[in-house]
A and B are shown apart, each in its own frame.
Chain A
């Protein structure tokens, strides 16, 4: 079988067609996995510029900031400051579900707000129009908060959006804050995540110190409620008796953000997009964070046990175990059934900054093998684990993104655990602030590819013919036209949820449908299958 051939040779094939310089760079971003002692893995080049002209999955800083991190919050009026396109394309296209608590609750998510910048503003500056737009948003909608997102030309013409926001905050008496998330900053969406994290931390988190008396309070960081994932996680935690203070940022409100620093523990789902906030909250308020993964039933079980272990409370542990036992009953039945049809099939995942890792757990659960995977915008630590953080070189593109200096808050810094307690947890296997990354969990001889190109995608499909390829909307139909089904892991093909136990069942069934359908067998017309020549001849005796 093709996938048993030498991955090093396949790697050579992938880069063969590139001009020398491109090939040299791509060779460092394509790695044959090899897990050694202490989970050591080969170094991969990541979070570096995409070569111009090489068709990429990546988007821009604005998309990471406005689209990913701030987009799912329902009660902030998010104004895009720029020409109309950026606001238009990020209007409702990410499937972040939200559930207002009443008819009066604010929900601006179905709206798109833009300053629709015109040539005049490019020449004479756009601050005046922005100021007016914020005023009109206030007059028309009376929101609790307004956020402003800069697009490419804003940075170039030198509009000071932060000054405008400060003025308007004072004038209107509501929170108004800006993001310098021009599309050209950084090398991908990732820079936008960082910028979003910084501004949330500066302008929102910590504004409300009211402490909920609940004994087990957590925040879920990096869960964007696509397809309702956060709802499923909320339900499970509630059953377990764990209180969710805030989710960053699925189904969220600004009030929840303001109060997030009062939690006892931060749980990080998408490490790439939100680890900055987790770190900063820890430094300023003393809330530790742990990496969790609610994608996959076994991963959900593991994550719940981690949370229970952190709180170290017998009653909580018992309740968590009860929920796990109950939920796993239904999971096991479906898993066994689906596994019987999916076992041994091949999957590939090229998406996001954590999904390409998380979803491997789900494929494992039904016996499918991930032969190649990679992220769209992750960094080395997401591939190799946070242990490599000290060795990551900060290049010019990353240096452009502000790194906030955070110190302990003189009044509100309350370490939730003592150093000794944390050490004990670590010794017992609950790594605080730890993330092992994707590669240590992948098999040896699998391919790990950062920022995969269209060309490499086509080659991989041809070489491996996987049963399913997971990517995004831009790749979806190129993959399917090659005769390989593609599941979008940004939008879940408008299905989901895939998180938690219920989500796992849903995912098993989705994959079963995708990889075991007969529809692909009809692609070739019957007269094209074992085509017989139309010429008919009669055998004539010749001698």
Chain B
């Protein structure tokens, strides 16, 4: 057994997290910043933070992940990191020539209390920031929230630094939340099908899913441009997908530029996609094209054809709040039973959101968020009463193997499979992909476990 010390019996823990279902803020800020065109993310802290975040994202995407660091040593930790950041800004613009440096903090620089706004002002005074180039920042103390909070903070930072006022346009801002480049590409595709002009930010498609051409592009062609980010203040509306990852930036646009915002759950699954498409339809006053309705119809076709395989299956899930709420609703809609749901990202609102999507249909469900809401606890619940399917990141493969339960890789990080960066899980086609994967896992299991006489040719 790999997880041989995990017992069925649960002992109350208040201080020790075991096998976390979250990581820290800065990696989210780094990921979001990669979704700005020609931006170099910068980690203001020790070298290790930047190395760890780049490694984790690289393992997940199998792509170059560029970022710089202030390389703190003990001196910087005592005297403050201003001189390190100033040097870094000067060196980065000289050597790596980005259009934007997006600085995020770390627990180290936050504990010291470095004032990044002031340091950026000092860099301007020293003429370290070339004409037409930018340094933006957000605060990402690792001891608050989770990686999703860091993503949210950086997206808000994009608005704070770039959005400008002006005459209103018909454009809709869409903040996609912490989803994959494939998902961002899919959101753009759906909007294009509907003939709607959007600004999607951040946008990591064509950044973290780049083609192999034999030429390394330090700044790939993707990413939301600075001009687009400036225009977000003039759009007719902002659609925030997933409140934990996206609401802060949308509210900032509302408060500062009177761009009204609507929050939707991530368009993962049938009905969440319906609401997304309907919202776009009503806001932009367009008809839903037949081709998109066909996609919905094909998804419905799988659901109705294959319902017997979904019905009643017990599922354990862990990951990030926005993803968990959306996929839980989808599972309930399929008549599956999401029974254990865990996120390390703190926030009581999560519980009411989950309660809402469970629709009272899974009374046995156990849900936990925040402190000590970890994969160890979830595994203990599974040991008490088994499930048919696991849905979560790659760390679930240890539980999957020990308990002999199939695992659908979903969320962050996925370290041992490819596909998530290329094939979406949002939209109708994303939902079809999820169903294909779920069915594959459940049916492979049935095939493996069937007696010879009941081994089915047709399923």
Contacts and interface: CB of A to CB of B under 8 A. Distances in A.
A56 to B, nearest CB: 6
B216 A55 contact: no
A355 to B, nearest CB: 17
Given A53-B95, A397-B74, A481-B64, A133 B16 contact: yes
Contacts, number: 274
A88 B58 CA distance: 15
B216 A481 contact: yes
B18 to A, nearest CB: 6
Contacts of B52: 59, 63, 85-86, 89-90
A129 to B, nearest CB: 5
B55 A112 contact: no
B233 interface: no
B19 A111 contact: yes
A171 interface: no
A121 interface: yes
Contacts of A193: none
A58 B47 contact: yes
B395 A91 contact: yes
B47 A396 contact: no
A73 B217 CA distance: 40
A184 B344 contact: no
A45 B141 CA distance: 35
B452 to A, nearest CB: 31
A17 interface: yes
A118 interface: yes
A277 B64 CA distance: 37
Nearest to A192: B48
B122 interface: no
Contacts of B59: 93, 473
Nearest to A490: B55
Contacts of B15: 115, 129-130, 132-133, 135-136
A113 interface: yes
Nearest to B210: A481
Contact of B71 (A18, A52, A57, A153): A52
B281 to A, nearest CB: 39
B143 A89 contact: no
A56 B68 CA distance: 8
Given A156-B77, A455-B95, A478 B216 contact: yes
Contacts of A108: 5
B71 A186 contact: no
B142 interface: yes
Interface stretch (B81-89, B269-277, B318-326): B81-89
A125 to B, nearest CB: 12
A49 interface: yes
B190 to A, nearest CB: 29
A83 interface: yes
A14 to B, nearest CB: 11
Contacts of B51: 56-60, 63, 474
B73 interface: yes
A188 B344 CA distance: 30
Q: Could you say which interface size class chain A belongs to?
A: 35 or more
B69 A119 contact: no
Contact of B65 (A117, A155, A474): A474
Contacts of A114: 16-17, 20
Interface in A482-528: 482-483, 520, 523-524
A302 interface: no
B26 interface: yes
A103 B4 contact: yes
A79 interface: yes
A497 to B, nearest CB: 20
B13 interface: yes
Interface string A114-149: 111111011000000110110111011100000000
Nearest to B93: A53
Given A59-B51, A103-B4, A474-B58, A83 B74 contact: no
Interface residues of B, number: 87
B11 interface: yes
Contacts of B84: 52
Interface in A71-104: 79, 82-93, 100, 103
B27 A19 contact: no
A183 B49 contact: yes
Contacts of A93: 55-56, 59
Nearest to B19: A112
B92 interface: yes
Contacts of A133: 15-16
Contacts of A396: 74-75
A132 B14 contact: yes
B263 interface: no
Contacts of A83: 24, 107, 142-143
Interface in B179-226: 210, 212-218
A22 B91 contact: yes
B425 interface: no
B88 A52 contact: yes
A476 B54 CA distance: 11
Contact of B215 (A52, A59, A129, A482): A482
Contacts of B56: 89, 93
A495 to B, nearest CB: 14
Contacts of A139: 11
Contacts of B395: 91-92
Nearest to B394: A92
A53 B63 contact: no
A520 B213 CA distance: 10
B152 interface: no
B316 to A, nearest CB: 18
A274 interface: no
A523 B73 contact: no
A106 interface: yes
Contact of A85 (B7, B27, B68, B70): B27
B212 A480 contact: yes
B73 A481 contact: no
A55 B45 CA distance: 14
A419 interface: no
B23 A89 contact: yes
Nearest to A63: B48
Nearest to B217: A481
Interface in B66-121: 66-77, 84-85, 87-92, 94-96, 106-108, 110-112
A201 B86 CA distance: 40
B65 to A, nearest CB: 7
21 contacts: A19-B90, A51-B87, A52-B68, A54-B68, A56-B47, A82-B142, A84-B142, A88-B24, A89-B56, A107-B4, A112-B20, A119-B144, A152-B72, A183-B46, A183-B48, A183-B72, A400-B74, A481-B217, A483-B214, A523-B212, A524-B214
Given A63-B51, A91-B395, 4 more contacts: A17-B94, A89-B56, A478-B64, A482-B216
* 7 nearest A-B residue pairs (beta carbon): A60-B48, A85-B24, A53-B88, A53-B91, A183-B46, A132-B15, A89-B52
Interface of A: 17-19, 22, 49-63, 79, 82-93, 100, 103, 106-108, 110-119, 121-122, 129-130, 132-133, 135-137, 139-141, 151-153, 155-157, 182-188, 396-397, 400, 454-455, 458, 461, 472-474, 476-483, 520, 523-524
